[in-house]
Structure 1
Amino acid sequence: MTRPLRAVAVSGGLQRPSRATALAAHLLDLVASKVACERHLVELGHLAPQLGGAIWRSQLAGPVERELLAVEQADVLIVATPVYRGSYTGLFKHFFDFIGQDALVDKPVLLAATGGSERHALMIDHQLRPLFSFFQARTLPLGIYATDHDYVDYQLHNEAVIQRARLAVERALPLVALTHRSLSPVPGDTAAA
């Protein structure tokens, strides 16, 4: 019997409500609608007071450490960040600076970002993809970018973005399933116990 898939989303949004958090939650819901999973949403804006002043992982408060462990133990990771000055938020990078060097190796990662205009859409390929390549994660081919105009009351409203999100999740699921099976213990396998 395999354990449930662990799907974790990280939002780099610093405010509440946040379009990045809404996008992360939307993608997490899409994954959960297709496969049984334990889902978890990490909101970095909520952790900012406990995260921002730390230099070493040993200095982090318990809630931040638990969120880092959730990311490291995830079977699939969804990341969404607002675009600030052409890149992810500083707090987003600071959080991932504490992730273990090998914790994301071969982990499927779905990349997403939000911004004020279309001109930042390539940030996914020019900023997020290299960051997760450093971790040797498997960044999934389709990223999702949404502008402020794609939302109504902090919910995705643009049908083209909604369809792209669905397509990204559908294309990701075979890799996620393959990775999850390879990590799950095989019934009767005493080496895995």
Structure 2
Amino acid sequence: MNKNIVVVSAGLSVPSSTRLLADRLAAATQDVVPADVTVIELRDLAVDIAKNLVTMFPSPALRTAIDVVTQADGLIAVTPVFTASYSGLFKSFFDVIDKEALVGMPVLMGATGGTERHSLVLDYHMRPMFAYLRAVPTTTAVYAASADWGAGTLQQRIERAAGEFGALLQARTTKPADDLVPFEELLRRTA
């Protein structure tokens, strides 16, 4: 049976090196484990994410994206690096997801940037965020600087990370019980 993988890409431009890395990570994972892949482009949800942060009510499109992510077998999360950290859009999306929704979920992290100096974003920003959410990140994460796109080592790192991610996906036999009721549903029940 195919695994259900969701790719969250926080790239802002079209075309986007962030989306390119996300696609390569997904393809390499599919070489390791049979999987269906759904891609969520956060730039398409930017206004909905911002509105949710101030109203606490997701739009239908954002609710769908959150549900797709939280019901997945695994997550590939890729962000561009801005000011030595993940993008605000990337962080804001994970801020609107319930902190219990990703418990035990395998995560393959990736990031893109102009220079190798930002590669520590994976271990100093992304890994702690996913640890807080009690997800299970792969040991290998993939950072792609501009100079990496022509280098053979990028594909080697992608394949190593995808292999680890595939092993985590295959080891995860069940998802935690989905006993959380969204706040807006609780409000509807009392109305």
TM-score using structure 1 length: 0.85
- Cα distance, 1:45 vs. partner? 1.0
SS in 1 for 2:77: strand
Partner of 1:191: none
SS in 1 for 2:6: strand
Partner of 1:86: 84
SS in 2 for 1:110: strand
SS in 1 for 2:62: helix
- Cα distance, 1:175 vs. partner? 1.9
**1:44 maps to 2:36:** no
Taking the aligned partners of 1:52 and 1:18, their CA distance within structure 2 comes to: 22
Unpaired runs of at least 5, structure 2: 176-191
Partner of 2:67: 69
**1:33 maps to 2:26:** no
Partner of 1:188: none
1:56–1:98 Cα contact (<8 Å) kept: no
Superposition map of 1:120-159 within 5 A: 120-151=118-149, 157-159=150-152
Unpaired runs of at least 5, structure 1: 152-156, 184-193
CA deviation vs aligned residue, 1:95-137 (integer Å, no higher than 9, x gap):
1011112111111111110011000011100000000011011
Partner of 2:18: 20
SS in 1 for 2:52: coil
Taking the aligned partners of 1:72 and 1:108, their CA distance within structure 2 comes to: 11
- Cα distance, 1:159 vs. partner? 1.2
Taking the aligned partners of 2:103 and 2:141, their CA distance within structure 1 comes to: 19
SS in 1 for 2:101: coil
SS in 1 for 2:79: strand
SS in 2 for 1:132: helix
TM-score using structure 2 length: 0.86
Residue identity opposite 2:82 in structure 1: Y
The one of 147, 153, 174 equivalent to 1:182 is: 174
Partner of 1:96: 94
Residue identity opposite 1:78 in structure 2: I
Taking the aligned partners of 2:20 and 2:45, their CA distance within structure 1 comes to: 17
- Cα distance, 1:171 vs. partner? 2.2
Identity %: 34
Number of aligned residue pairs: 176
- Judged with a 3 Å threshold, the aligned counterparts in structure 2 of structure 1 residues 30 and 108 are, in CA distance, closer, same or farther, namely same
Runs of 4+ in structure 1 off by over 3 angstroms are none
CA deviation vs aligned residue, 1:2-54 (integer Å, no higher than 9, x gap):
x5311111111122111111111111111122222221111111211322232
More helix per residue: 1 or 2?
Answer: 2
2:119–2:143 Cα contact (<8 Å) kept: yes
